[in-house]
Chain A
Amino acid sequence: MATYTREKPLTRADIAGESAWWCAGCGDFGVHSATQQVIMSLVNDLGVPLENIFAFSGIGCSSKEPEMLRVNAYQGQHGRSIPVAIGLAVANPGLTVIDFGGDGDSYAIGMEHLMHAVIRNVNMTLVVMNNQVYGLTKGQASPTAHKGLRTASTPKGKKGRNVNPLRLAIAAGAAFVGRGVSWQRNELVELMQRAITTKGFSLVDVFSPCVTYHREPGFRGSGPIYDWYKQNYVLDIKDAWQQLRDQVFTEEERATLPTEYDPSSPEAALNGLHLIFEAAKLGREVTGCLLIDESQPTQAENASVSAERAPALADISLPANLDAYRGLLAEMR
Chain B
Amino acid sequence: MAGLQIYGAGRAGDGTNTNILMLGQALKDMGAWIFSILDEVYSNIQTRDSGFAVRAADRPVFNLDDEFDILQAFDVGAFVDIAQEGRIPPITRLKQGGVVIYDSTPRLEYPNAGHEIKLEKVQDILDGKRARVFGLPMGQLAKDQLGLYNARGTISIGVIAHLVGIPDEVIVKRFAKRYAGDAVAINEKALKIGRDYARAQGWEMPELKLSFTPLADDTRQVILGNEAVAAGAIVAGCRVYAGYPITPASEVLEYMAEHLHQFGGAMIQADSEMAAAHHVIGAAVAGARSMTATSGPGFSLMQEAISAGGITETPMVIVVCTRGGPGTGLPTRQGQEELNETIFGGHGDFARIVLAASEPEDAFYIVEHVFNLAERYQCPTFLLIDRTLAQSSYTIPALDPSGFVIDRGKLLTAKQVADRYVNNGDEYKRYELTEDGISYRVIPGTPGVTNYYSNTNEHTEAGYITEEETIRQAMMDKRFVQRMELIGADPELPQLRQHGSPDAKVGFIGYGGVYGPILEAMERLDARGEKAKFLELRTLWPFPGDQVRGFVDSCDTVYVPEYSAGAQLRGLIQREATGPMAKLKSLLRYDGRNMTPGWIIDRIKEAK
Q: Which A residues from 312 to 333 make CB contacts under 8 A with B? A: 312-314, 316-318, 321-322, 324-326, 328-330, 332-333
Q: Which residues from B are CB-within-8-Å of A324? A: 262-263
Q: Which A residues from 279 to 333 make CB contacts under 8 A with B? A: 299-300, 303-305, 309-314, 316-318, 321-322, 324-326, 328-330, 332-333
Q: Which residues from A are CB-within-8-Å of B218? A: 333
Task: Say whether A76 contacts B239, CB under 8 Å.
Answer: no
Task: Say whether B280 contacts A87, CB under 8 Å.
Answer: yes
26 contacts between A and B (CB under 8 A): A1-B418, A51-B446, A52-B445, A53-B450, A73-B454, A86-B268, A86-B279, A90-B279, A90-B283, A112-B272, A112-B275, A116-B271, A309-B264, A311-B288, A312-B287, A313-B443, A314-B239, A314-B264, A314-B265, A314-B288, A316-B239, A318-B406, A328-B231, A328-B262, A329-B399, A332-B227
B96 interfacial contact with A, CB 8 Å: no
Q: Which residues from A are CB-within-8-Å of B262? A: 324, 328
Task: Say whether B444 contacts A332, CB under 8 Å.
Answer: no
Classify the secondary structure of B's interface with A. Answer: mixed
A190 interfacial contact with B, CB 8 Å: no
A94 interfacial contact with B, CB 8 Å: yes
Most buried by A among B286, B449, B453: B286
| Nearest B residue to A90, CB-CB | B266
B540 interfacial contact with A, CB 8 Å: no
Q: Which residues from B are CB-within-8-Å of A90? A: 240, 266, 268, 279, 282-283
Q: Which residues from B are CB-within-8-Å of A85? A: 282
Complex Cα–Cα for A72 and B453 (A): 6
Task: Say whether A113 contacts B271, CB under 8 Å.
Answer: yes
Task: Say whether B450 contacts A86, CB under 8 Å.
Answer: no
B290 interfacial contact with A, CB 8 Å: yes
Size category, B interface: 35 or more
Are A51 and B449 CB-contacts (below 8 A) given A83-B278, A87-B281? yes
Contact with A along B71-97 (1 / 0, CB 8 A): 000000000000000000000000000
Q: Which residues from A are CB-within-8-Å of B286? A: 87-88, 91-92, 95, 310-312
Q: Which residues from B are CB-within-8-Å of A98? A: none
Task: Say whether B219 contacts A91, CB under 8 Å.
Answer: no
Are A91 and B452 CB-contacts (below 8 A) given A85-B282, A329-B401, A333-B218? no
**Nearest Cβ on chain A to B45's Cβ, whole angstroms:** 25
Cβ 8 A contact of B464, one of A17, A77, A115: A17
Task: Say whether A304 contacts B282, CB under 8 Å.
Answer: no
A75 interfacial contact with B, CB 8 Å: yes
Are A67 and B464 CB-contacts (below 8 A) given A92-B445, A311-B266, A312-B239? yes
B interface residues (Cβ-Cβ under 8 A, vs A): 218-223, 227, 231, 234-235, 237, 239-240, 242, 259, 261-268, 270-272, 274-276, 278-290, 304-305, 308, 312, 398-399, 401-402, 404-406, 418, 421-422, 443-457, 463-465
Are A80 and B304 CB-contacts (below 8 A) given A303-B266, A314-B239, A333-B221? yes
Size category, A interface: 35 or more
Cβ 8 A contact of A329, one of B290, B398, B456, B457: B398
Are A316 and B457 CB-contacts (below 8 A) given A72-B450, A84-B279? no
Task: Say whether A333 contacts B222, CB under 8 Å.
Answer: yes
Task: Say whether A87 contacts B268, CB under 8 Å.
Answer: yes
Complex Cα–Cα for A311 and B270 (A): 17
**Nearest Cβ on chain A to B35's Cβ, whole angstroms:** 15
| Nearest A residue to B371, CB-CB | A316
| Nearest B residue to A72, CB-CB | B452
Task: Say whether B220 contacts A333, CB under 8 Å.
Answer: yes
Complex Cα–Cα for A86 and B242 (A): 10
Are A325 and B401 CB-contacts (below 8 A) given A72-B450, A83-B275, A87-B268? yes
A71 interfacial contact with B, CB 8 Å: yes
3 A-B pairs with the lowest CB-CB distances in the bound complex, closest first: A87-B282, A316-B237, A83-B278
| Nearest A residue to B452, CB-CB | A72
Task: Say whether A74 contacts B282, CB under 8 Å.
Answer: yes
Task: Say whether A50 contacts B450, CB under 8 Å.
Answer: yes
Most buried by A among B242, B271, B406, B422: B271
